[in-house]
Amino acid sequence: MRADLHTHSTASDGTDLPQDLPRLAKQAGLDAFALTDHDTTAGLAPAAAAAAKLGITFVPGIELSIDADPFAEDSPLAIEKEDQQAAGSVHLLGYHVRSDSEALTIIETKLRRARETRNPQIIDKLAELGVRIDYQDVLKLAQAGSDDNPDEHAVGRPHIAQLMVQRNYVKSIHEAFARYLGPGAAAYVPRELPTADKAIAAIHAAGGVAVLAHPVHLGLRPADLEHTIARLADLGLDGIETQHPDHETADTRKLTALADRFDLITTGGSDYHGSRKAIALGSVVASEDALQRLEDAAAAYT
* Whole-number pLDDT of residue 147: 53
**Residue 78 vs residue 297, higher pLDDT:** 297
Helices 135-143 & 102-128, crossing angle to 10 degrees? Answer: 140
The rounded percent of the chain whose pLDDT value lies above 70 is 90
- In this prediction, residues 87-92 reach a mean pLDDT of 74
Statement: residue 286 has pLDDT above 90: yes
Percent of the chain with pLDDT over 90: 71
Q: How many domains does the chain have?
A: 1
Over residues 229-279, the pLDDT tens digits come to 999 999 999 999 999 999 999 999 999 999 999 999 999 999 999 988 889
pLDDT at 81: 38
* Contact (CB, 8 A) for 275 and 162: no
Q: Which structural domain range is residue 268 located in? A: 3-299
Query: If you average pLDDT over residues 176-200, what whole number do you get?
Result: 91
Q: Which residues contact 188 (CB under 8 A, 6 or more apart)?
A: 85, 122, 125, 180, 181, 182
* Strand partners of residue 32: 3, 57
73 pLDDT higher than 50: no
Summary mean pLDDT of the chain: 89
User: Taking 70 as the threshold, does the pLDDT of residue 75 lie above it?
Assistant: no
**Predicted pLDDT of residue 277:** 84
Between CA 69 and CA 224 the distance in angstroms is 14
The pLDDT-based confidence of 143 (bands split at 50, 70, 90) is: confident
Given pLDDT bands bounded at 50, 70 and 90, which one contains residue 85?
A: very low
pLDDT score of 5 more than 50:
yes
pLDDT attached to residue 142: 81
In the predicted model, what is the mean pLDDT of residues 117-146?
Answer: 89
Q: pLDDT, tens digit, for every residue of 158-168?
A: 899 999 999 99
The span from the CA of 242 to the CA of 158, in Å, is 24
Look up the pTM and report it. Answer: 0.87
pLDDT, residue 140, reads 87
* Beta carbons of 70 and 34 less than 8 angstroms apart: no
Residue 94 pLDDT: 98
- CATH code for the domain of 63: 3.20.20.140
